[in-house]
């Protein structure tokens, strides 16, 4: 066994010159993922439907020294996924990292939820993850030097929720299943497949939970009673796990869900 890495352990996390696709790059986690990978030296391909938001994220990535490409497509079909991958290869010559950060939640009690809304959540979170992993995997297999596939799970893939999350919980459990199955299927190819499972972290959608209003304080108190770290998540809490999963440091780590949750799922 070579111990050359001991001379530079930080080199295990080096992704300079790698090419990463991030779907849902205009959303909170997608934009964060793009900027973390860009700041670490990767070329980033930003996919999503909100072009103006993608341009903003691209400018932020380029300010960090990265090269970027925008693809105004969601991974909502086989054709779109193939186009996203082809755009990355056309621009940067290869694909090394995939982060599927696109997704959807429609909150409703099961007796009130329309079947089409349930199917929309399953399509956005499950089918589109599968399609994007499939398209990226084909390219990585053809290249023959492995790759990193990172899906987005949630603490809700492991635990239930009383507030109308039957569609979301089911979808994230399915993402976990895809992660484990592909971790096995691609085990000897050099492609690792893992999922990052956050709980609440600061974003435009959750900003109200961080406020000092009576409602926020009540909700926060109940939630934090189950979080050993005793606080809500911040964007930087996801950066380290993401970089680990995107780099050589995780080469022997596949088929897993890495919970960035302050210990929430441990209780």
Q: Which helix (H) or strand (E) holds 53?
A: helix 51-63
pLDDT higher than 70, residue 19:
yes
Q: Report the domain count for the chain.
A: 1
The whole-number average pLDDT for the span 9-35 is: 96
Lowest mean pLDDT among 71-85, 167-181, 220-234: 220-234
> Alpha-carbon torsion 99, 183, 104, 219, what sign?
negative
Is residue 80 in some structural domain?
A: yes
- Give the global pTM: 0.95
Active site residue 168: yes
**Marked catalytic residue, from 168, 210, 253, 264:** 168
pLDDT value of position 7: 87
Contact status, residue 157 vs residue 172, Cβ threshold 8 Å: yes
Is residue 218 in some structural domain?
A: no
pLDDT value of position 203: 85
Which structure tokens are listed for 171? 């979808």
Please report which confidence band the pLDDT of residue 17 belongs to, taking 50, 70 and 90 as the band edges: very high
pLDDT value of position 243: 98
pLDDT value of position 51: 96
SS3 assignment, position 257: strand
Is residue 212 in some structural domain?
A: no
Q: How do residues 112-171 score in pLDDT, each as one tens digit? A: 999 999 999 999 999 999 999 999 999 999 999 999 999 999 999 998 888 899 999 999
Is residue 75 in some structural domain?
A: yes
**Domain CATH number, residue 45:** 3.40.50.720
What range does the domain containing 256 cover?
13-201+235-261
Is residue 230 in some structural domain?
A: no
pLDDT value of position 205: 79
pLDDT value of position 161: 82
> b/e string for 94-124 if b means 16 or more Cβ within 10 A?
bbbbbbbbbbbbbeeeeeebeeeebeebbeb
């Amino acid at each position: 066994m070579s111990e050359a890495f001991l001379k530079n352990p930080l080199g295990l996390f080096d992704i300079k010159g790698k090419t990463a696709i991030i779907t849902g790059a205009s959303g909170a986690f997608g934009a964060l993922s793009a900027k973390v990978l860009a700041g670490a030296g990767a070329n980033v391909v930003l996919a999503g439907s909100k072009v103006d938001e993608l341009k903003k994220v691209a400018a932020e990535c380029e300010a960090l020294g990265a090269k970027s490409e925008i693809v105004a497509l969601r991974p909502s079909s086989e054709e779109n996924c193939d186009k996203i991958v082809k755009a990355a290869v056309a621009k940067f010559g290869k694909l090394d990292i995939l982060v599927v950060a696109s997704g959807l939640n429609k909150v409703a009690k099961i007796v009130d939820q329309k079947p089409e809304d349930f199917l929309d959540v399953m399509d956005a979170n499950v089918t589109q993850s599968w399609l994007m992993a499939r398209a990226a995997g084909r390219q990585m297999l053809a290249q023959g030097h492995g790759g990193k596939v990172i899906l987005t799970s949630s603490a809700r893939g492991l635990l239930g929720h009383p507030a109308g999350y039957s569609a979301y919980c089911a979808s994230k459990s399915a993402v976990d299943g895809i992660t484990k199955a592909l971790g096995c299927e691609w085990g000897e190819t050099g492609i690792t497949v893992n999922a990052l499972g956050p709980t609440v972290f600061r974003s435009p959608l959750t900003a109200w939970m961080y406020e000092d209003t009576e409602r926020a304080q009540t909700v926060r108190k109940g939630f934090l009673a189950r979080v050993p770290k005793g606080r809500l998540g911040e964007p930087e809490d996801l950066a380290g796990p993401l970089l680990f999963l995107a780099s050589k440091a995780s080469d022997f780590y596949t088929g897993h869900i890495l919970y960035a949750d302050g210990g929430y799922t441990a209780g």
